[in-house]
Amino acid sequence: MNAQVRRVAASPYARRLARERALPLEALRGSGPGGRILAADIIGYVPVATPDGAAPAAAPSIAASRIAAFATSVALGALQDLLAALEGSGRVFDIDDVLLCAAGRAFAGIPDAAKPGDTSVALELAGRQAVFAMIPETSLTSLRATRLAALADSRDDAERPAPLSLRVLPASDVRPVMMPLLPGRAMRLTVSLDAPGIHAECLLTTDAGSIDEAIAATWLSALKSAIENPLRLFV
């Protein structure tokens, strides 16, 4: 260790944000006590203009459709144990019920200002969609009943508004790394289950024009947390 190196005071969260953005802490001014660098100092960081004063490259003049994608791997162990325990007591739920419920609940974690007005979820079925209005209080039991009813009829809700569509792929060794958005849906969640049912690979594609990157990441992280700590979904 070089004793001459000055220790930069930074909160752990600020260090993480700087790491993710490849910003050197030494280049930053801290606004916290004793000059401690805080998260706000990273988020509000504006690079100093280059010496020749060249303006940054102009944005493309044509408004191209911009798509962002986020992926996460979700452990299903706790959920599978809970489903098995409930099945033992005569209450059967499918993983589709849980995904639907968790997708709905994940909207609850988004700050109100950024939350879509409508938090319905469109479940992608063969050649059609079924839209579920997600109210936080909806119990899993009634959600499952609604889903089974939707499977039984043949209506197509493709025209009904919903910010998110959900597609559950059958277990396979091959999974998509990009999926197009469906018309009218700003978000699409594609879930690929592995064969033993131990992990779910979740791919979230979003319209970067209307969904902020941080919000999308927050949403996906809330979904992961809800599935990995499933007890909350059942109470």
Partner 1 sequence: MAMSAARARDDFKSAPNLPDKQVLLDLFERMVLLRRFESMAQIACRKGETPGFLHLYIGEEATGVGVCAHLRPTDWVTSTHRGHGHALAKGADPGRVMAELFGKADGICGGRGGTMHLYDRSVGLFGTNGIVAAGIGHAVGIGMGARQQGRDDIGVAFFGDGAANHGGFHEALNFAAVQRAPAVFVCENNLYATATPLKSITLNPEISTKAASYGMPGVAVDGNDVFAVWLAMKEATERARSGKGPTLIEAKTYRTVGHHEGDPVIGNYRTQEELDAWIKRDPIDMFRNKLIEDYGVADAEALAAIEARIETVVEQALAFARNSPEPDPATVRLHVFADPINPPAALQPRAVGETRTQGWLEAVRDGIAEEMRADPAILYFGEGSGERGGSFAHTKNLWQEFGADRMVDTPISEQGFTAAAVGASATGARTVSDLMFADFVFETAGQLFLQAAKLRYMTSGLMSAPMVVRVGAGALRSSGPHHSGIYHPVFAHMPGLVVCVPSTPADAKGLMKTALRAGDPVIMLEPKALFASKGEVPVGEHYVPFGVARIARAGTDITIVAAGQMVQRALEAAEALAAEGIESEVIDPRTIMPLDIDTIVASVRKTHRLLVVDEAWAMCGLGGEIAQAINELAFDELDAPPGRLHTAPTSHPFAPVLERAMLVDAARIAQGVREVISGKPPVPDHWYTVGLKSSAPAKSASAPAKPQPAAPAPATLSAGGDEPITMPFGDLTVSEGTVVKWLKAVGDAVREGELIAEIETDKAVVEIEAPINGTLSAIDQPVGAVVPMGGRIGGIKK
Residue selected from 16, 21, 66, 155 as contacting partner 1 according to rule CB under 8 A: 16
Within 8 A by CB and 6+ apart from 180, the residues are 67, 188, 205
Note whether 80 binds partner 1 by CB under 8 A: no
User: Helices in the chain by DSSP H: which ranges?
Assistant: 12-21, 39-43, 77-88, 95-106, 140-152, 213-228
* Closer residue to partner 1 (CB): 44 or 209: 44
225: which residues sit within 8 A by CB, 6+ positions away?
Answer: none
Give how far Cα 65 sits from Cα of 84, 180, 181, 186, 211, Å: 44, 11, 11, 12, 13
CB of 112 to partner 1, least distance (A): 9
Q: Which of the stretches 31-39, 62-70, 189-197, 202-210 binds partner 1 when contact is defined by CB under 8 A?
A: 31-39
Q: Does 89 bind partner 1 (CB under 8 A)?
A: yes
Interface segment toward partner 1; rule CB under 8 A; list 69-77, 149-157, 195-203, 223-231: 223-231
- Does 86 participate in binding partner 1 (rule CB under 8 A)? yes
Residue 164 interacting with partner 1 (CB under 8 A): no
Contact set with partner 1 (CB under 8 A): 11-16, 32-33, 36, 38-39, 85-86, 89, 91, 108-109, 111, 137-142, 218, 221-222, 225, 229, 231-232, 234-235
